[in-house]
Chains A and B, each alone.
Chain A
Amino acid sequence: MKYLILLLAASPAFCDGLRVEPDDIVLAGTGATQRLLLTVERGGDEDHAAGCRLVSDNPAVVAVQDFTAVAGMPGEAAIRATCAGLHTTATIKVTAATAAPGISFTRDLLSILTTKGCNNSSCHGSPVGKAGFKLSLYGSDPAADHRMIAVDRRIHRTEPASSLLLRKPSFQLPHGGGQILTLQSDEYNTIRQWIAEGATADTNAPRMTRLDLYPRERILAGENARQPIVVIGRLSDGTTRDLTGEVRYTVLDESVIGPPSGAVIAARRRGLTVLTARARGLTATAQFAVIERRAGAGYPRVEANNLIDDFVFAKLRRVNITPFPLSDDQVFLRRVFLDTIGLLPNADETKTFLADAAPDKRAHLIDNLLDRDAYATHWLTKFEDWFRNSQYYSQGRTNGSYKRWLRDLIAGDRPYDEAVREMLTATGDTTVRPAGNFWHPAIDFMLKTFEVSKATPTVTRLFLGQRIECAECHNHPLENLTQDDFYGMAAFFARTKVKHGYAQYRRIWYDTREGEVLHPVTKQPVTPRLLDGTTPSLSGDATRREILAEWITRTQQQQFARTTVNRIWAEYFTLGIVEPADDFRSTNRPSHPELLDRLALHFISSGFRFKALHRLILNSRTYQLAAHTADRPGGTDPLERALFARYEPRKLPAEVLLDSISQVTGVPQQFNGYPVGTSPKELIASNGATHFLTTFGFPRRDVMEPRPDGPSLGQALLMMNNEAVRGKLAEESSVLTAVLNQHQDNRAAVNELYLRALMRPPTERQSAALISFLDAEREAGRTRRRSFENLLWAILNSKEFQLNQ
C-alpha cells in the first residue's frame, strides 16, 4: 500500500522546539561545571540558539554562566531556556564530590595523554606501542597504563621534574614524537604534581561508561557558520563529567569542517563529514554537513512513497537538496529489470509497460519481477560472491550443489535467519548437505585442515558486519578490539572438524566434544567469548557452533538484520547506509542511523524475508528517482550520492552485460560444456570464466572483497574489438537479419534497435546522427547490413547501454 506524506506537513520530526543538551547531567561536587548546548528546532531545521537565555530556578544548586552550569550545593535545579517565544526546561542534579582531592590518574593523567595524542593509534597507543612505551588506545585500560607509567625508570618520585615522563614530551630529551608539552604548561604542572603526590593509581575511581557528543547531527549553512560542541562522560557512579576539553577529536574530512577550536566547529566547504571524540577507550560521533544556505519557503514539496522516503527526504531537506525527479517510465523499466532480474525487458514487455496507464503499474511490475525465476538466478550471483562459492575452495566438486542450495534459498524466499543457522551449524557430507559448503573457504587446501582463523572473521563480517580479521594479528587500531576478542570468537570453532573423503574432494563436516583454540601469545586454551564480552553457557547438548548461531541470529538479531539490509541497500544505491557495507564500528557512522534501524525492524518483522525488503526498497521513491535530467546534471555534488538524492548510475555487472548483449543481438552465448544460451550466471565453475567475464570484473571469489567496479582499458578494447561483441553483430542469425527484413525504412529499423537496447527511441539529435551515419555508409559503398552492424556496434559501445541508470 502506498501512503503519502507531504514533507512540510506536520510530522513528529517537524515540531518547533527548543532543546538543552546534554540531558541527565549529574554534577559531582561543588564547583563542577558542564557546558550546555541550546538547540532551536524550527520547520525541520536545527540550529545553535546563540542569542538565547538560560536561567536556573535555584542558583544555589546550579548557577548558569554563559551556557555553563556550575554546581553549588547538592540538590536539583531546573534550567529554563527561553528563545524567540519557545521555552523548555532541563533538570540538573548536583551530588557531593565523589573524587578524592588531588590529581587523579584516570581523570587527569589519561585526559592529558589523550588530548595530546600520546595514546593514539599512531603513537604509544598503537598495538605495539612506540619505543618500548605502550599505552592502551585512548586510555581504555587505566590499570595497564598505570603499570606502564608508574615505574622508576619513567618517574622520579623525589625529583618529579627529572622524570622521563616529563623530560621526553617536553623535549629535554630526544623524543620521536617531538615536543608535546611546554615547560610549566598546565599539563606539565599537573603531571609533575601527580608524581609529587606519589604517582598513585586511583583504580577504584568511578569508571567512564559512556561518552556523548553533542550535537549528534548538525547542518552548517554558510561559510561563516559556527557550532559549539559539548562532550559529556557518564560514569559508573551515576555522575557525569564535562569532557569537552579532555577528548581527542578527529574529523573524517577536514575540507568540510575544521578540527574543533575552543570547542567550536567552523564550516569550511560544502560536504558531509563525521566528527569523532575519543577518551577512555570510548567513542562518540557526530555528523556535520556544510551547505551554502538552508532550504527556504521555495523548497518543493516532495511526495514520499514509503518509510524509506520519509527518512531520506527529511535529511535531504535539511541540507537543502531537492531529490531528483521521479525517473521516466522507460528509465525505470530498464533499471528495475536490471536490478531485480539482471536482464533487459523484451520488446513486448517494454511496449506493454509503457502503454499501461494504471497508476500502480510500477508496483505491479516489481511484484511480477520478484516472482520470476530470473530474480533468483540474478541475486544468486551476489550471494555466491558473499559466500565465496569458488572452485578455488572446492575444486568444483560441490560448487553446483551449493549453488543450487543458495538459489533455492532465494527463489523460495526462505527466512534468512533460518538459512544462516543451517549454514553455521551444518554437518555431514557437503555433496548431500550443501549448506556445509559455507565452510569451505576456511579449509587450508594443502593441510586439509579447517582453519578457525579463517572462519572467524568470515562469520563476523558476513553476519554482524564486523571486520575482526585485523585482530588476528594485532589489536584493532581504531576500536577496542583485541586479539583476545578474536580468539574468544575463534574458540567457537575449536571443535569443528572436516574429513576428506574420496580423492580429497568429498568433505564431511562434524563437531567433536573436545578441542580448544590456543591463544597465540599465552599458548593457553581460550574460553569461547562473544564479541559483546559475554561467555554463554557451554554445558548441555548444543555444540559451540549451535550456540554461536543462536547468538548471532537471535540475541544479536538486530545487528544481524542491520548488516543484512545494509548489504542489500548497498546493491541498490552503490553505497551502504554504513559504508563499507560490512564495516560496522563505533568510528564508522551510518549516514541514516534511524533508517537503518527501521529497515532492520522491517526485515525482522517480515520473518527475515528478502522479497519484502526488495519490495520496500524498489517501491520507494528514493529508488525510483532519476539519475539526472536535461536541466539538472547528476554527479556534480558529492552530497547527492552520500544522501541518496538520485539513482547513482553504475556499470552493468559482467554477467548482466554479456546477457544484455546476447539479448539485444539475439545471438545466445555459448560456453564450453554448457548448452547454448546458458547465462554466465549459471556457470558452475567460477574459474572457468571467459576473457569477457573476467575483464568486466567477474570475481574468482577467493577473497571476501567487493567486485572491482571501475572501468578499464581492457574493457574499452574488448567492447570495441572483441569477438564476443563483433561476432554477434556479424552472425547471420542475429537480430539484424529480422529487423532489416521487417523494416525497409531505416528510421523504423533504428527505432526498433533502440527499443531493444535502451527501451526508448533515439532522441531527435541522436536520430539525426544515426540517419546521417547510414547515409554516409551508403555513400561509402557499404551494404545496408554492414552499415547496421556498425550502427549497432555504436549502440552497444555507448555509455547508456553499458550503464544502469
Chain B
Amino acid sequence: MTHRRDFLRAGGAAFAGVTLPQLLAGTEAGGEVSCIVFFQSGGACQHDLFDPKPDAPPEIRGSFRPIPTAVPGVHFSELLPRCAQSFKEFSVIRSVYSREAIHEKAKQYIFSGSRPNNAFKHPVYGSVVAREFGGKNGLPPFVVIPNRDISADAGFLGPAYDPFITGDPAKKDFSVQDLTQPLGVGLEEAQGRARLLAALDEEIRQVEKSKLVEGMDHFYQKAFDLISSPAAKQAFNLGAEPDALRDAYGRTTAGQGALLARRLIEAGVRLVTIFHGGYDTHSDNDNSNKKLYPVFDQAFSTLLTDLKQRGLLDKTLVFALGEFGRTPEINHSGGRDHWPGVFSVAVAGSGVPGGQVIGSSDAHGAAPKDRPVSIEDLGATLYKKLGIDFHKEYRTVGRPVKINSEGTPIRELSA
C-alpha cells in the first residue's frame, strides 16, 4: 500500500523541488516558545475581571463582589472563581493602557504593538512569527480560531503570512474549514485528481518562470502536505480528546477553541489566537457578563491547568486580554462603553511567575496608578519570550518599519 504522504508526492510530483526562498524562509529551527492569545473581543471590563473596586461608588463598582484568590490579599471578581483558584499559574497586569478607542484600531494596535497609521498596515504578531520561523510539521505557523478578524492580518507582509482559519470548533461535527477532502472523496480519488492537476499544470510550468507561479505551486504543495499530514489531522481532531476534558474546557467556542489551541501548539503551531466575542457590553452589563465571564473563567483556567499537566506551560506564553477596558461609570443603559484608559491583562507560561499582580489602577479603575504598561511593552514582551529580536526592522513603502516601535519587555514577567 502506498504511504499516505507518497500519493501527494506522486500526485504532485511536479510540486516537489519547488523553492521559493522568501516564502520558504521559515525553518524548523528557532521558536522554542509558542504562544496562545485568548482574546476577549470587544473589550472586557477590568472591574468585573481581575481588578474589582469594592470601595468605589455603586455606579462604578457594579454588581459583582470581589472574591479571594489563591494569593492572600488579591481579589478577583466573583465571576472568576476558577481563575481565582488557579492564580498561582499566572500573573495579572492591572495597569495596561491603550490609546485607541475604536474596536478596529484598538485591535490592530494590540495585535501589532503599533498604532494604526495612514501610511501602511502593520503585520500582527502571528504574521511576524510566521515570517520569522515558518511552519513546523507541515502545520501552518499562525492559526486563528474560529473566524477571520481585522486584527489577524499580515498587513504589508502579504497574504502568505495571513493566519490559517479553523472555523468554530464548538460546532457539532466540527472539521476545519477547507482542510478536509470533500465529503465522500476518498484517498484514491483525491490522488487521481491531484495527478491530473499536476499534468494540466505541466505546460505552464515549463513556460512561466515568474515568482507568482512558483508561489502558487509552493502553496498548493503546502496545502497537499497539510491535508495529508497525519500530524495535522491529529492536531485538528478534537474528537481524540476525552469527553471529560472537553467538558472541563466547556462546550463553547471559547472552551473548545482553547482546547484546540492546546492541541495545535502541541503539534507545532507557533501562535494561536482564540477570538472570544461578546464583550462589547454597551448595555446590560450585569446579565451579559454573568453569562460571558464564566465561559472565559472555565476555558482559561482549564487551559492553564492542562498545559501545565502536559509540561507545555513552560514553553507556551499565554495571554488573556481584550482591545481595551470599559468605562468606570455604568451608563444609563446599564452598560459600560469603550475605555482605553486602563484595563487588565493576564499572562502565563514560559517562565512568567504565577500569583503576581503587576501595576495597579486608580480607585475607580480609570487610569494606571503605578507601573503603567503600554501596548508596546506587551509586544516587546511577546517577541522577547518567543525569541524574536524586537528591535528588528522590516521595510515597506520605501521605509524601515520596526516590528516594535518603543516597547520594553516587562521585567516582572521574566523568571
Residues of A in contact with B (beta carbons under 8 Å apart): 392, 445-446, 453-454, 457-458, 467, 469-470, 472, 477-478, 580, 583, 627-630, 632-636, 648-651, 691, 694-695, 697, 700, 702-705, 708-718, 720-722, 726, 763, 765-766, 769-770, 773, 776-777, 780, 782, 790-791, 793-795, 797-800, 802-803, 805
Contacts and interface: CB of A to CB of B under 8 A. Distances in A.
Contacts of B219: 711-713, 715-716
B164 A776 contact: no
B193 interface: yes
B203 interface: yes
9 contacts: A469-B117, A469-B119, A627-B208, A634-B209, A635-B213, A773-B193, A790-B193, A795-B200, A799-B213
Contacts, number: 185
Given A697-B159, A798-B200, A704 B140 contact: no
A712 B192 contact: no
A477 B399 contact: yes
A801 to B, nearest CB: 9
Nearest to A805: B208
A716 B216 contact: yes
Given A467-B397, A629-B207, A694-B148, A713 B164 contact: yes
B121 interface: yes
Given A627-B208, A710-B160, A717-B179, A446 B101 contact: yes
Given A635-B208, A711-B216, 10 more contacts: A472-B118, A478-B398, A580-B398, A633-B208, A711-B219, A714-B178, A716-B220, A718-B178, A798-B201, A799-B201
Contacts of A454: 118
B200 A717 contact: no
A777 B209 CA distance: 32
B196 A791 contact: yes
A791 B180 CA distance: 19
Shortest beta-carbon contacts, A-B, top 8 = A635-B210, A769-B199, A716-B223, A712-B159, A717-B178, A635-B209, A628-B207, A716-B219
A763 B206 CA distance: 14
B156 to A, nearest CB: 7
B328 to A, nearest CB: 18
A802 B197 CA distance: 13
Nearest to A782: B189
Given A691-B148, A710-B158, A721-B179, A800 B192 contact: no
Contacts of A721: 178-182, 227
A720 B193 CA distance: 10
B140 A713 contact: yes
B188 interface: yes
B251 interface: no
A414 to B, nearest CB: 28
B319 to A, nearest CB: 24
Nearest to B203: A763
Contacts of A726: 182
Contacts of A635: 208-213
B202 interface: yes
Contacts of A780: 188-189, 192
B162 interface: yes
Nearest to B199: A769
B179 A469 contact: no
Contacts of B192: 773, 776-777, 780, 790
Nearest to A722: B178
Contacts of A651: 212, 216
B196 A580 contact: no
Nearest to B210: A635
Interface string B148-174: 101000101011101011000000000
- Residue among B156, B196, B204 with the highest chain A CB neighbour number at 10 A: B196
Contacts of A632: 207
Contacts of B196: 769-770, 773, 790-791, 794
Given A713-B223, A714-B159, A800-B204, A467 B119 contact: yes
B222 interface: yes
A470 B119 contact: yes
B102 interface: yes
B405 to A, nearest CB: 12
B93 to A, nearest CB: 25
B120 A708 contact: no
A583 B398 contact: yes
